[in-house]
Amino acid sequence: MPVAVNEELLLKQLKDPKMAQRAFGTVVKEYTEPLYWHLRRMVLDHDDANDLLQNTFIKAWTNFDGFQGNSKISTWLYRIATNEALTFLSRQASTDIVSLDNDDAPTVNLEADEYFDGDDLQQRFQQALQTLPPKQRTVFNMKYFDEMKYEDMSEVLGTSVGALKASYHLAVQKIAAFFQDDI
């Protein structure tokens, strides 16, 4: 989540009707890459991540009037993106897009993805991540990949810092156990 933006100035510009569109362009420019990778790690597929990213920015733009400024813009965007991804994953699971007979289906799709250039270890790591429940995987991704502070994750996910620390710890243990089973 390390983006160098003066959020106070950006917020003022976003609230000014004359500057809002240009300021939102700055938001899109600054947050596209970190949000894309946040979403990509959650859903794995490039096209799905792009669709969710677009939905995130559309929701942010159309709902900006409701943004109180009680949290950082980045936190608010991550909350929208995370909710979009969790809804997508829930919808995907409920429609049985992933066969129950094939536990490796998400990583098989990842292998076929032209944008994935990982080696065997990365492939196994992604398989380990797929064994985590979606919310636990989200916490792991936010801490491990996005290097997000627990306090920021708490705002994004609406979960206590203690619960997030416990969730991250359990995720690390499950991933370690996944690799231990290979030995």
Q: Are 71 and 62 contacting, i.e. CB atoms less than 8 angstroms apart?
A: no
- Listed by start position, the domains of the chain span 1-97
Confidence at residue 113, expressed as pLDDT on a 0 to 100 scale: 53
pLDDT at 69: 81
Q: Rounded to 5 degrees, what are φ and ψ at 44?
A: 70, -40
Q: What is the CATH architecture assignment of 1-97? A: Orthogonal Bundle (1.10)
Give the pLDDT of residue 8.
Answer: 87
pLDDT value, residue 40: 93
pLDDT at 102: 45
DSSP 158: T
Give the angle 110-115-183 at the CA atoms, nearest 5°.
45
User: For the stretch 67-101, what's the b/e string if a residue is b when 16 or more beta carbons lie within 10 angstroms of its beta carbon?
Assistant: eeeebbbbbbbbbbbbbbbbebbeebeeeeebeee
- Closest to 78 measured CA to CA, from 98, 103, 60: 60
Ranges of residues in the chain whose predicted pLDDT is under 70: 1-4, 96-119, 182-183
pLDDT of residue 28: 96
User: 71: Cβ–Cβ under 8 A, 6 or more apart, which residues?
Assistant: 79, 155
Contacts of residue 30, Cβ cutoff 8 Å, sequence gap at least 6: 3, 4, 5
